[in-house]
């Protein structure tokens, strides 16, 4: 009888012995490097020598606007006062906000988790479907491993691949950051203005990990969806196409339909948890973080169940 550990080793062998996996990893690294380069180039364009003077001028300008009551609504008024507070904090602590720190590079790499998701979706879509198109599924299933075990092995390896890509992007972004901005920024605080209207110093690494964390939720859902479609339809192109389609139009679709109450039950309406961060609005006013987490958990269970049923119960006749 097969042990799960050995099955995972097999799946890993099949992932990493394929040249295209390394092409994907290479592509991710190149994109990260380019992004770092572009950020540095952009920084060098804005003159940073007279940043103190610039901030002081900006503050004076906003102050004047406020007094003249140019801003109409309370929202922008709040934003303006916050900007002034932030700028004063920068000036007091001698922090140049235009100068990129190590953490800015890491923070920005979180936006590339979209790419990590797409790459993992491609791998996930192939996990089961490719065995069918190669014809190897017959030999794979005719062995002392139950289909449930084989499927679990495949799912675990897919997730390990996703984790690997995340670690690579974090490490590469950290590397570029420390190369281009030095380690000086390592101890810089993450600044936020709380409800009390005071500037708070937070931990930069916690902030970065938080950004990664939210992105990982959508990664988990889309990859699981691709895996499910792969198991259900036994076609990798279909799995890739549907998952990417949902990724690209899902958000927009939810936005368009946000007038209807039932939209909150759609997967895409709940997948982006950053809508619950301070300063953003959820898709519908009645939606809460715990509601979304509950919906995501329900979708996750259903996807897994459908995939499992279709993979374990259906005959392999071709």
Partner 1 sequence: MKEAVLQLRNVTKKIGNRKIVDDLTFDIPAGEVFGFLGPNGAGKTTTIRMIVGLISMTKGEAIVNGVSVSKNFELAMTHIGAIVENPEMYKFLSGYQNLVHFARRHSGVTKQRIDEVVKMLGLQNRIHEKVKRYSLGMRQRLGVAQAILHRPSLLILDEPTNGLDPAGIRELRDYLRKLTREEGISVIVSSHLLSEMELMCDRVAIIQAGKLIDIRSLQENKETAQSKIMIEVNDLQAAHRLLASAFDETRLSVNGDQLEVSSDKAAIPDIARLLVKAGLDVYGIHAVKKSLEEQFLEITGGEMVV
Interacting residue with partner 1 among 4, 34, 60, 139 (CB under 8 A): 139
User: Any contact of residue 18 with partner 1 (CB under 8 A)?
Assistant: yes
Smallest gap from Cβ 132 to partner 1, in A, equals: 10
* Tokens encoding 31: 């994109």
User: Any contact of residue 141 with partner 1 (CB under 8 A)?
Assistant: yes
Phi then psi for residue 97, to 5 deg, are: -70, -20
Phi-psi region of 69 (alpha: psi -120 to 50; beta: other; left: phi over 0): left
Q: Are 177 and 102 in contact (CB under 8 A)?
A: yes
User: What part of residues 145-204 is at the interface with partner 1 (CB under 8 A)?
Assistant: 145-146
User: Any contact of residue 313 with partner 1 (CB under 8 A)?
Assistant: yes
User: Any contact of residue 52 with partner 1 (CB under 8 A)?
Assistant: no
Nearest 5 degrees, angle CA 128-CA 156-CA 173? 110
User: Any contact of residue 14 with partner 1 (CB under 8 A)?
Assistant: yes
Nearer to partner 1, 1 or 74 (CB): 1
Nearer to partner 1, 237 or 312 (CB): 312
User: Any contact of residue 134 with partner 1 (CB under 8 A)?
Assistant: yes
Interacting residue with partner 1 among 2, 56, 82, 192 (CB under 8 A): 2
User: Any contact of residue 12 with partner 1 (CB under 8 A)?
Assistant: no
Largest CA distance in the chain: 79
User: Any contact of residue 63 with partner 1 (CB under 8 A)?
Assistant: no
Smallest gap from Cβ 130 to partner 1, in A, equals: 10
Report the 10 Å Cβ neighbour count for 170.
18
C-alpha span between 126 and 108 (Å, rounded): 29
User: Any contact of residue 4 with partner 1 (CB under 8 A)?
Assistant: no
Q: What is the DSSP code string of 196-258?
A: TS-EEEEEHHHHHHHHHHHHHHHHHHHHHHHHHHHHHH--HHHHHHHHHHHHHHHHHHHHHTT
Interacting residue with partner 1 among 52, 70, 78, 138 (CB under 8 A): 138
User: Any contact of residue 144 with partner 1 (CB under 8 A)?
Assistant: yes
Burial 49-68, CB ≥16 within 10 A → b, else e: eebeebbeeebeebeeeeee
User: Any contact of residue 309 with partner 1 (CB under 8 A)?
Assistant: no
User: Any contact of residue 3 with partner 1 (CB under 8 A)?
Assistant: yes
User: Any contact of residue 54 with partner 1 (CB under 8 A)?
Assistant: no
User: Any contact of residue 35 with partner 1 (CB under 8 A)?
Assistant: no
Q: Are 51 and 98 in contact (CB under 8 A)?
A: yes
Which residues would be at the binding site for partner 1 (CB under 8 A)? 1-3, 6-7, 9-10, 13-14, 17-19, 134-136, 138-139, 141-146, 313, 315-317
């Amino acid at each position: 009888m097969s042990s799960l550990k050995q099955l995972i080793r097999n799946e890993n062998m099949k992932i990493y012995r394929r040249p295209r996996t390394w092409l994907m990893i290479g592509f991710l690294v190149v994109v990260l490097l380019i992004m770092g380069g572009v950020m540095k180039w952009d920084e060098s364009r804005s003159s940073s020598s007279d940043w103190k003077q610039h901030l002081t001028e900006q503050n004076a300008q906003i102050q004047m606007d406020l007094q003249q009551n140019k801003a109409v609504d309370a929202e922008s008024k709040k934003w303006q006062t916050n900007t002034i507070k932030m700028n004063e904090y920068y000036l007091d602590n001698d922090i140049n906000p235009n100068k990129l720190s190590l953490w800015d590079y890491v923070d920005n790499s979180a936006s590339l988790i979209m790419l990590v998701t797409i790459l993992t979706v491609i791998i996930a879509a192939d996990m089961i479907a490719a065995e069918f198109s190669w014809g190897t599924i017959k030999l794979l299933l005719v062995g002392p491993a139950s289909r449930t075990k084989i499927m679990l092995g495949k799912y675990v390896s897919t997730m390990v691949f996703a984790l690997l890509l995340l670690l690579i992007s974090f490490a590469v972004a950290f590397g570029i950051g420390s190369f281009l901005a030095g380690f000086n920024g390592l101890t810089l605080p993450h600044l936020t203005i709380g409800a009390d209207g005071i500037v708070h110093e937070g931990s930069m690494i916690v902030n970065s990990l938080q950004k990664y964390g939210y992105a990982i939720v959508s990664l988990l859902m889309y990859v699981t969806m691709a895996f499910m479609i792969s198991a259900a339809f036994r076609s990798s192109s279909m799995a890739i196409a549907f998952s990417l389609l949902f990724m690209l139009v899902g958000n927009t679709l939810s936005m368009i339909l946000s007038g209807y109450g039932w939209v909150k039950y759609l997967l895409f309406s709940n997948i982006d948890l950053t809508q619950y961060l301070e300063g953003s609005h959820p898709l519908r006013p009645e939606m809460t973080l715990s509601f979304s987490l509950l919906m995501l958990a329900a979708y996750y269970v259903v996807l897994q169940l459908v995939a499992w049923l279709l993979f374990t119960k259906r005959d392999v006749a071709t």
